[in-house]
Copies of this chain bind each other. A is one copy, B any other.
């Protein structure tokens, strides 16, 4: 398998240039204005799979953006790995905070990426990490080292909740049948501390609208006498956490699976420096639920965060107005065994119940996702662990992280498949933020590591 190193050395520039081309497409699934770019991106993913040597490559319609499918079946008796990834990206705003345009990729060196990193929206999440798999499979096919079957399923709605996928999976159970699902859409602790994500948080995302008076009013003539929807919304949002930053929605924690002291101690052993953390974010102090450490707060505990708020006059200068409406986008990260639909309903009922008589409240659910925890005693996990050992020379650390990949739970339900999360990005790669980037070293290290997963997974499966 040493050939992979040589192959990467030979094709390094092409691997980078192909990714750069893909990153030039603004495939923003949240914004209808970019729908053509999203579809163009599906098209180029299709072509990438074909040139990698995949067969039966097709763009599969869904009720939303399409899924790009491709496969290489070498022997039906051998195990099948299915790669999942997504070609859509987060909106890039706020644009003014980008040091270079989000869809004009540039290479820059950073402290953590001395060999350079590619700066562009989607560089890490998930075009870059998805494309590692395309290139790793290209290598295995072209060098006849593919030890088992592989299927690709690359979607275009991950950043907006993968709404079409449940139906798609149901309708394509046979085509998507596999033994293990492989995803690179998470991170690792550091370039010298490989880790495998064994837990993901779920998500409930809602938009709220508070309406006071039926029109904007002069704050002098009416101020103090009518419900101001912005003041009211602020009060309502504030009341969702108590003084210990526990969430106050009745029943919210009911189904939260508390970790054992042993599990928490084990977590506490993972390398984490609170001072570096604060320094990297330039915050005077961390902030969160009383009784839990920072790594616990962002991994094993549920949260409630306002992702956006707006209302009234937000232009230049001063306008003495009382707005008719105020809005907020609010998301809750969930942990086992919370159910997104249940939580959305608990939120909605509670939020309406705390509104004062003077206002009207509307709650619109956006999307949700199930939390997920993977076992570490499976063939899949062991194969991944050995793959990292082969290329990093270290045993990776199992890590529960805070992000959500709603489809992972769905895979288990519908396809009855376990998922292995091999992430090669870093938290500092600023995914979902301005100046998202992906280290070239990480990109190539991923391409190098992935073939080992196929090797060990096939060996372990067939020797069982």
Contact = CB atoms under 8 A, between A and B. Distances in A.
A201 interface: yes
Interface string A290-319: 000011011001111111111111111111
A221 B125 CA distance: 13
Interface in A411-445: 427, 430-435
5 contacts: A30-B318, A218-B431, A224-B333, A227-B286, A286-B358
A288 interface: yes
A185 to B, nearest CB: 11
A223 B204 CA distance: 13
Determine which residue in A161, A201, A433 has the highest number of CB atoms from chain B within 10 A of its CB, and name it: A433
Contacts of A261: none
Interface in A193-249: 201, 203, 205, 207, 212-228, 230-235, 237-239, 241
A402 B222 contact: yes
Contact of A212 (B32, B283, B289): B283
A307 B281 contact: no
A433 to B, nearest CB: 5
B220 A289 contact: no
Interface stretch (A55-63, A91-99, A376-384, A453-461): A91-99
A239 B207 CA distance: 23
A21 interface: no
Nearest to A366: B318
A321 interface: yes
Given A218-B431, A431-B218, A432-B217, A305 B402 contact: no
Interface in A380-422: 401-404
Contacts of A212: 283
A263 interface: no
Given A221-B402, A221-B427, 9 more contacts: A201-B220, A205-B318, A214-B282, A220-B404, A231-B304, A231-B306, A232-B287, A307-B320, A308-B312
Interface stretch (A11-19, A143-151, A323-331): A323-331
Contacts of A251: none
A342 interface: no
A55 B359 CA distance: 53
A40 interface: no
A367 interface: yes
Closest 8 CB pairs of A and B: A224-B303, A220-B403, A30-B317, A308-B312, A238-B238, A227-B287, A214-B282, A285-B357
A430 B215 contact: yes
A338 interface: no
A310 B97 CA distance: 17
A225 B308 contact: no
A345 interface: no
Nearest to A300: B224
Contacts of A357: 284-285, 287
B367 A318 contact: yes
Given A220-B403, A234-B238, A213 B90 contact: no
Contacts of A315: 30-31, 91, 93
Contacts of A321: 90, 307-308, 432-433
A432 B311 contact: no
A97 B216 contact: yes
A49 interface: no
A401 B306 contact: no
A356 B238 CA distance: 14
A219 B298 CA distance: 9
Contacts of A434: 215-216
Contact of A320 (B316, B317, B322, B331): B331
Determine which residue in A218, A238, A315 has the highest number of CB atoms from chain B within 10 A of its CB, and name it: A218
B284 A358 contact: yes
Contact of A318 (B201, B231, B286, B329): B329
Contacts of A169: none
